Amino acid sequence: MEPTVDPGQAAPGERPVTATPGSATMADVAKLARVSPATVSRALRGHPSVTEDTRRRVLDAAERLHYAVSPAASRLATGRTGTIAVLVPRLPQWFYATVVAGAGPSIHDAGLDLLLYELSDAAVRRRFFARMPLRRRVDGVIALGMYMDEVETEALHRLHVPVATVGEREVAGWWNVRIDDVDGAAKAVRHLVRLGHQRIGMISSFSPEGYAFRTPIDRRAGYRQVLTAAGVRYAPELEFSAPFGMEGGGTAMAELLSGPEQPTAVFCESDEVAFGALRTLRRAGLRVPLDVSVIGFDDHDMADLLDLSTIAQPVREQGRTAAEMLLRSLTTPDAKPEHVVLPTRLVVRATTGRHATG
């Protein structure tokens, strides 16, 4: 059937296969495989209507030419960008970096690119939402801990691509994965109550830049709920709020200690806050947990090192879940956005126990 003589081109073996590797085009592959560019395109993407024989010829030729599809051309032709943007407030924070790391493999396994944007301060953030560099550039967005206001939310909506948020309030039309912060906080405080504590303080935190995080609100709610349910007196003077981070935790603990009524146990909104609190206690010469029990929230990498009792949340999984929800919405554009709540878990270590005087 197939003539063994080649009408136009030189024999395959004579082609300068190694010249400017990576710059071969689909037409080059087509010539070498003796098919049309259209068939190359189909063969390369596994279209069913291609003979096993020609597919092999095409793959062979592509291999020999070190051919790689031009994403730009492909994107222009299809209209799809093959790209997911991930928005994160501060990458060096363990939580965010871990969520991103959790999302990466799912995105890459699907053959998509991961575009990273760290919006670390108010100025950067404002510029980002004003210029919206994602326009025409991404097929979907994952937003971590961004707690966007009306304007920002609207700006993202205008991209007309699916959005998945992690650890935020639920936005209509967007996918969301989070934990139950109220319930998680309740677990922590119940643990303290069951150890016999009656004076239980809390250190929550706020964004120095004024973003309306929902997490502190929910965790405070869980704290108060349990106190009320357990019949433990809720004392406003045992509740402190400080800027997010270790420093804030440290100073808030100092204030707690200098207050009229020293707590025997403190629930810290996050492990980082707890780290700072622990340092203050150590410097104050107080024994943990004999004098003061401390429990955090997150199960930070370092929590184990410091023997900190805490509430563990699945961090990496939140990233993975968000990515997979988003990917699903790309293949099924009319899928209804889901809101997933992942479980938390009490981790008892050495910073919680009964008070020395009972």
CB-nearer residue toward a second copy: 73 or 122:
73
Q: Which of 6, 9, 66, 77 binds DNA (CB under 7 A)?
A: 77
Report helix, strand and coil shares of the chain as percent, to nearest 5: 40, 15, 40
Binding residues vs a second copy (CB under 8 A)? 21-22, 66, 68-73, 75-76, 81, 86, 90-94, 97-98, 100-101, 104-105, 108, 113-118, 120, 124, 132-133, 135-137, 158-160, 246, 275-276, 279, 301-302, 304-305
CB of 134 to DNA, least distance (A): 15
Which residue has 């967007």 as its token pair?
Answer: 174
76 binds DNA (CB under 7 A): yes
Q: Which does 44 bind (CB under 5 to 8 A by kind): DNA, a second copy, none?
A: DNA
User: Binding mask 9-48 vs DNA (x if CB under 7 A, - otherwise)?
Assistant: --------------x-xxx------xxxxxx-xx-xx--x
Nearer to DNA, 74 or 93 (CB): 74
Q: What is the DSSP string of 238-303?
A: GEEEEESSHHHHHHHHHHHHHSSS--SEEEESSHHHHHHHHHHHHHTT--TTTT-EEE-SB--TTT
Q: What are the φ and ψ backbone dihedral angles of 256, each rounded to 5 degrees?
A: -60, -45
- CA 192 – CA 265 distance, rounded (Å): 7
Q: Which is nearer to DNA, 99 or 327 (CB)?
A: 327
Determine phi and psi for 241, rounding to 5 degrees.
-125, 135
CB of 310 to DNA, least distance (A): 48
- Shorter beta-carbon distance to DNA: residue 44 or 91: 44
Q: From DNA, a second copy, none, which one binds at residue 42 (CB under 5 to 8 Å depending on kind)?
A: DNA
HSE-up of 207 (CA within 13 Å, CB side)?
16
* In the complex, least distance from residue 320 CB atom to a second copy, rounded to whole angstroms: 13
At residue 115, what are phi and psi to the nearest 5 degrees? Answer: -100, 125
Q: Residue 155 CB, nearest distance to a second copy (Å)?
A: 11
285: its two tokens: 């010469």
Work out what residue 38 binds among DNA, a second copy, none; the CB cut-off runs from 5 to 8 Å by kind: DNA
Residue ranges in 46-75 that form contacts with DNA under rule CB under 7 A? 48-51, 53-55, 67-70, 72-74
Residue 22 near which of DNA, a second copy, none (CB within 5-8 Å, type-dependent): a second copy
- Using alpha carbons, select from 275, 128, 79 the residue that is nearest to residue 115: 128
Token match 């073996």: residue? 13
Residue 210 touches which member of DNA, a second copy, none, C-beta under 5-8 Å by kind: none
Choose between 22 and 48: whose C-beta lies nearer to a second copy.
22
H/E stretch holding 116 reads: strand 113-118
What is the distance between the alpha carbons of residues 153 and 209, in angstroms, rounded to a whole number?
Answer: 18
Q: CA quadruple 104, 108, 110, 111: dihedral positive or negative? A: positive
Measured from the CB atom, is 216 or 276 closer to a second copy? 276
Distance CA 228, CA 161 (A): 44
Q: Rule CB under 7 A: which residues touch DNA?
A: 23, 25-27, 34-39, 41-42, 44-45, 48-51, 53-55, 67-70, 72-74, 76-79
